[in-house]
Amino acid sequence: MVQGDVVYLDIVFMINLVMDYVILWTTAKFAHVRSSAARLFAGAVIGALASLLLFYLLYMVPGVVVSTFKLFLLKMLISLVMAATAFPFRDMRKFFGVILNLYLVAFAMGGAMIGSIYLFQNNPAAYSTMNGLIVFLVNVHFSWLAAAIAVAILLARWGRNFVRKNLLRAMLQVPVVVRFGDKRLALKALVDTGNSLKDPLTQKPVMIAEYGALKELLPESFKVAFEKGPENLEEMIKGLQTDVNWGFRVRMIPFSSIGQQKGMLLGLRPDDLVIVTDDSYIKVRDVVVAVYRHRLSSKGEYRALLHPDLLDAA
């Protein structure tokens, strides 16, 4: 540390307390984990006290030397205790998923702070790195903290949806199970960011599914009319409305596509749709299934196009 610099331990504690609380709060939002302000504050206090203790031992007690590896393990232990305090958990797999989200948020906020120092601080002695810890040698500028907190707010507000819709969905195929009455059908669906179809009356998102996949679930009168051709739309609707189990499900979904500026898909409201993810499932009732006449994938890799908003029903 530069000789003559004064570090106030109460300020070190308060800065760490604020930042740790913001990190835990953002992690709760980003990872969609329920917690309380009291638990988040308790976790932040533990993190701030641990940081203060590390700072004191490493820089204010003569002769104390901690190897990089041991310091890394110590930091890992602190983060685990913080997360265990801040977030209730029963499943270890989900807990470690929260830990990964916590590190992602911490790295993003730390990067924002270092970036703001690089851009706005012209004092080369603004900070120093010692034993893997960043030690601020001058007063912490408001802009540094503001940059980190701004990133936290962005992650909390839009980060989860951005990751789902943009980083994962472009190549995501998921199993889904659609239920009409006592009949269920499992099929593979592609999360399609280009699918913006919604029921014009209820604004429910629409999943497009191949007729060939849904065929076994549909009433015979409808199948006869459907297979005659798209011009028999009125007959298809009548075929459904005459069936007490299907009449209330009918929806008409307008759409436009290349080569067809205005079109109409016949939609059916299922009892529910279950989207199967890696470690859980999402059950959706506010959805319409549109019947598509042609194949969606030439190789048969998927048989439905999932509206991206359906993944936000978790």
- Looking at residue 190, its amino acid is L
The candidate with the shortest Cα–Cα distance to 304, out of 180, 178, 188, 171, is 188
CB of 311 closer than 8 Å to CB of 191: yes
- CA neighbor of 16 nearest in space, from 47, 38, 54, 41: 47
CA distance 47 to 81: 8
Half-sphere CA count of 123, side-chain side, radius 13 A: 10
Q: Do the beta carbons of residue 187 and residue 209 sit within 8 Å?
A: yes
Q: Which residue has the tokens 């590896």?
A: 69
Local structure of 276: helix, strand or coil: strand
Q: Dihedral of CA 42/116/103/10: which sign?
A: negative
Active site residue 192: yes
Can you point out the beta strands (E) in the chain?
127-130, 133-136, 173-180, 183-191, 206-210, 250-257, 260-268, 272-276, 281-284, 288-292, 304-306
Report the 10 Å Cβ neighbour count for 174: 20
Catalytic residue, chosen from 192, 271, 278, 286, is: 192
Beta bridge partners of 305: 190, 208
The backbone region for 8, taken as left when phi is positive above 0, alpha when psi lies in -120 to 50, beta otherwise, is beta
Strands 183-191 and 281-284: unpaired
CB 214 within 8 A of CB 266: no
Q: What are the backbone angles phi and psi of residue 60, rounded to the nearest 5°?
A: -125, -10
Question: Which residues have a catalytic role annotated?
Answer: 192
